[in-house]
Chains A and B, each alone.
Chain A
Amino acid sequence: MKRNHIVSLVVIVVLMVVFLATFQDASTYNTFLQAEKQKKETCTVIGTLVLTDSIVFQRETLLLRFTAKDKEGEVRTVYYNKPKPIDFERSEEITMTGYANDTAFIAQEILMKCPSKYADGKNTPATP
């Protein structure tokens, strides 16, 4: 076997390993219902904040509790044990990564999308 063939073979094997590892590490986009079907398995739910329900942040425990509605309209209580993000109430959409347990969705990571932070033509200056 020529050396070039060995190198090519190694390259292919490494690529396979890398791709498999990526699929292994990647979480999936789900709804709350799907998350509940596979309890304790990590997934990502995109939803919106339900502002009419209370948003409670306890400083003793650093626990944030809020209610979110996913894209299918399912509403769940979400717990997040990190500080309440600044301007949380202003978020347009929240991406929650975590898992469901019997009573709630436990978010480990939250990504907020604020509508105004990046110019998008939505806020036009003149609406007299």
Chain B
Amino acid sequence: MNYIGEHTFYADLGRLFVSLAVVASLFSALAYAWNIRTGDESWKRVGRGAFRVHALAVLGVVVVLFTLLFNHWFEFNYVWHHSSTDLPLQFIASCFWEGQEGSFLLWAVWQALIGWLLTLWAKEWESGVLLTVSSVQFFLSTMLLGIYVGSLKIGSSPFVLVRELPENIGLPWVQMVDYLQALPAFAEGNGLNPLLMNGWMVIHPPTLFLGFALTVVPFAYAIAGLIRGIYSDWVKPALPWVFTGVGVLGIGVLMGGAWAYEALSFGGFWAWDPVENASLVPWITLVAAGHLMMVEKHKKSATGITLFMTLLTFWLVLYSSFLTRSGVLGDSSVHSFVDLGLSGQLLLFFGFFVVFPAFLLLVRWKQFPKNASEELLNSREFWMFIGSVTLLLSAAQITFSTSLPVINKLIGPEGWIPLLSAGLAPPIEANAHYNGLQMPFALIVSVLVAVGPYLAWRSTPPHFLKRLIPSFLLSLLLGGLIAWGLRMSHPMHIVLVATTLFATLSNLDLWLRHWRGNSRHLGMTTAHVGFVLVLLGALISQGKKEHISVNQTFIHKDFPSNENMVLEKGDTTSMYPYWVVWTGERTEGKNIHYDLTFITSEDSVFHLSPFIQINERMGNVPEPSTKHYWNKDIYTHVTYADIRAEGNTDEWQRPIEATLKSGEEAIVYDEFMLQMDTLEVHDAQFTADGSAILSLNMQLHMRLKHMAGGETPLIARYSIRGDQVSFEDAIAEKEGIKVRFAAVENEEGTFKLQLWRRDDSNKPFILIQAIVFPFINVLWLGSLLMGFGSLLAVVQRLRRDKEKARRA
């Protein structure tokens, strides 16, 4: 059967590339293994060729998938599910990695490119390193296969047609030759998740996955070292890759934070969500591994733990990929992927690369060099070791808390071995839980960052302490000032402010005064300063964030006061130190913007417009709006708005009618008296024969009296222009009553009136949350410095090595 308009050629091409990628990577791994075993150089060349074929095939898969997406060929399930024709061009890229298949592909293509570079640069390490890289690539490529062996599903292909989905097979429309033209459902795709339609989501995933992909390099070098029995020298070629990874992954993680801050509305840049944690933890251990590798390079005294930390980093990358893709987090995270039924395959992938390297590490442990003497307390290597252990503990804490759903699966009431009587749910106060436990680690690490660079390998002359005095005293002073200025009360926070300042100042001092601004150390100094500024910025902006929208209404002791504020349209509400007015809403494309005006006491005004993205297919999402100052951000988002009631927001309710003569009065709405006074007639023009009115303006003067005293004069107007009748209603604002002069009755001097009462409960309102984040720019500045500092350090090291090689 030939379906009309399908592009099955591309499906076949894509599948062909996937199969080629799988076969070539397997072949490459085997060829490299054979080269290691036999020493036959020709097999190395075969392995290299096979790997390059593999890399080109992966690139081919990427090109085909992009072709499908750019052309909006909705017969493809992936295209239908993740894109739509109304998407701006740059978001097509986000569609690419919205699904699991695409994100596997993104990971695989980075690793393929890195592997290619390794075939050029790894020299004598090539076989050992590429053996691991191509094995990893083999497992990753099979994730894209989408074939069934018996009832076992291997991988999930992005090239499946909608009509080929298991749930559609056998349905009548599948028999239609022209289903693409005939069924309206295929004219438009499901579209991209509205939350992903954000600039950060175009660059965050590729950066993050490049960071993940880079961790395979030290992993591969470590395994190669273990295989070859060279337990220390593998660190030298691996180090530049590690710190490239630290820079890229660090920036990638914080880009995710920037996206969350701009597009999500949980009120901050970090929420310790399992998915965020899963990306942070490998970065922490990668930093630890990198520092241990420097110890190993200089001293060969940390062989075992260096190898372990390096392997662990990649294990954690695999584990985080398992957590986010297996559906295990379903109950505890809002943004994990949905289970594609690949958990088994993921576990196998994970297990393979844990079991074999771990086995190798244990078997070889006895052969590692033993250092006869202990490191001295004033040596750089000892404190680098302590710092790495601290980072490891910090990573362990985050991993353990994040893994509660996994622990449930293992020993929960419905798990394998039901040890627990009730399943464990994530900590309720996630921020308090993680922040509380992480702060001591941050404290130790920041002190080590402050002091560490002053220490020399082996042993440091004691005068280094004297060098630290100025920055130490200055940080105490500045820390005290900041704590006082921001009214910080938590002792741990104050200490951490001081230690992070200490680290910043001591590194700057070291570089400027003792290294005399030598560019040789610029990268390291920048990265260290950047890292502690991230800590400082996070601490101040989170620790001293202030909800200025606080609803103090007392309901019951069970319900604490609320961090949301009711804004009624047009009313001015106090939100100290601002006055806020909700001026109205407007629709812009898919978004309903809620315009807020913030007025400060000094007569300065700014506007914010948080919005709700209306997406019928995927659900509506609120997105924040933030006013940035150099020293603080004012962040707002709509927490409640009645979208559906739009157009039905008439505040005038309870209509009544009354017929009155001049001078008469009537009781209206139980508590008011409406008194007719006089009628004024203006501009009366009649047709020549006097039978019809051409134009007429009438003003009815009334008084609205309250039973308790006090009256309000009202004027309602009635006018005729040709055959058009128009009304100008009289509104008594204070009383909330509207009067319309509806008609003149036939009887002389009798008027028909319509009245409405304002119904306050129907007055349109929204709820907003407004948070002030002080000094959040310190965090963003720090992350930039940290990322670029790490990369700069790599460039400088490579340049130095090259120079050394030239001189030798």
List residues of chain A with CB within 8 A of the CB of B335. 118
Which B residue sits closest to A101, measured CB to CB? B558
A51 within 8 A of B: no
B427→A25 contact, CB < 8 A: yes
Which A residue sits closest to B335, measured CB to CB? A118
Residue of B162, B422, B429, B641 with most partner-chain A CB within 10 A: B422
The docked-state distance in angstroms from the alpha carbon of A14 to that of B390 is 10
List residues of chain A with CB within 8 A of the CB of B404. 22, 26
The docked-state distance in angstroms from the alpha carbon of A118 to that of B707 is 60
A29→B173 contact, CB < 8 A: no
A44→B425 contact, CB < 8 A: yes
B630 within 8 A of A: no
Q: How far is the CB of A120 from the nearest CB of chain B, in Å?
A: 4
List residues of chain B with CB within 8 A of the CB of A76. none
A46→B331 contact, CB < 8 A: yes
Please tell me the number of chain A residues within 8 Å of chain B, measured between CB atoms. Answer: 58
B400→A119 contact, CB < 8 A: no
B98→A28 contact, CB < 8 A: no
B190→A82 contact, CB < 8 A: no
B424→A121 contact, CB < 8 A: no
B425→A79 contact, CB < 8 A: no
The docked-state distance in angstroms from the alpha carbon of A97 to that of B551 is 22
Which B residue sits closest to A108, measured CB to CB? B428
The docked-state distance in angstroms from the alpha carbon of A112 to that of B558 is 22
- The chain A residues found within 8 Å of chain B, CB to CB, are 2-4, 7, 11, 14-15, 18-19, 21-23, 25-30, 34, 42-44, 46, 57, 59-63, 79, 81-84, 86-87, 90, 95, 97, 101, 106, 108-109, 111, 113-114, 116-121, 123-128
List residues of chain A with CB within 8 A of the CB of B424. 23, 26-29
The docked-state distance in angstroms from the alpha carbon of A17 to that of B81 is 46
B334 within 8 A of A: yes
Q: How far is the CB of A10 from the nearest CB of chain B, in Å?
A: 8
B 329-370 to A, binary, CB cutoff 8 A, 1 in contact else 0: 011001101100000000000000000000000000000000
Which B residue sits closest to A95, measured CB to CB? B331
Which A residue sits closest to B639, measured CB to CB? A83
Once A26-B404, A81-B559, A87-B619 are accepted as A-B contacts, the answer to whether A124 and B425 lie under 8 Å apart by CB is no
A86→B620 contact, CB < 8 A: yes
B 60-89 to A, binary, CB cutoff 8 A, 1 in contact else 0: 000000000000001001001110000000
B 156-199 to A, binary, CB cutoff 8 A, 1 in contact else 0: 00000011010110010100000100010110011001000000
B679 within 8 A of A: no
List residues of chain B with CB within 8 A of the CB of A14. 393
B193→A118 contact, CB < 8 A: yes
Which A residue sits closest to B568, measured CB to CB? A59
Given contacts A86-B622, A121-B81, A128-B173, 8 further A-B contacts (CB under 8 A): A2-B374, A26-B401, A27-B424, A79-B559, A81-B555, A106-B559, A109-B428, A119-B190
A19→B559 contact, CB < 8 A: no
A59→B765 contact, CB < 8 A: yes
List residues of chain B with CB within 8 A of the CB of A79. 558-559
Which A residue sits closest to B100, measured CB to CB? A119
Residue of B82, B389, B559, B643 with most partner-chain A CB within 10 A: B559
B428→A114 contact, CB < 8 A: no
Once A25-B433, A118-B337, A119-B190 are accepted as A-B contacts, the answer to whether A82 and B564 lie under 8 Å apart by CB is yes
B566→A97 contact, CB < 8 A: no
A126→B767 contact, CB < 8 A: no
The docked-state distance in angstroms from the alpha carbon of A60 to that of B639 is 15
The docked-state distance in angstroms from the alpha carbon of A118 to that of B338 is 7
List residues of chain A with CB within 8 A of the CB of B338. 118-120
Partner of A22, one of B173, B427, B429, B619: B427
Which A residue sits closest to B401, measured CB to CB? A22
Once A18-B437, A125-B162, A126-B162 are accepted as A-B contacts, the answer to whether A62 and B423 lie under 8 Å apart by CB is no
Q: How far is the CB of A37 from the nearest CB of chain B, in Å?
A: 11
Q: How far is the CB of A125 from the nearest CB of chain B, in Å?
A: 4
Once A125-B74, A125-B162 are accepted as A-B contacts, the answer to whether A26 and B186 lie under 8 Å apart by CB is no
13 A–B pairs (Cβ distance < 8 Å), ordered by A: A59-B640, A61-B555, A62-B551, A62-B564, A79-B558, A81-B560, A82-B564, A82-B639, A86-B622, A118-B335, A125-B162, A126-B185, A128-B173
List residues of chain B with CB within 8 A of the CB of A114. 618-619
Once A86-B621, A101-B558, A126-B186 are accepted as A-B contacts, the answer to whether A43 and B425 lie under 8 Å apart by CB is yes
List residues of chain B with CB within 8 A of the CB of A26. 401, 404, 424-427
The docked-state distance in angstroms from the alpha carbon of A28 to that of B488 is 34
Q: How far is the CB of B522 from the nearest CB of chain A, in Å?
A: 33
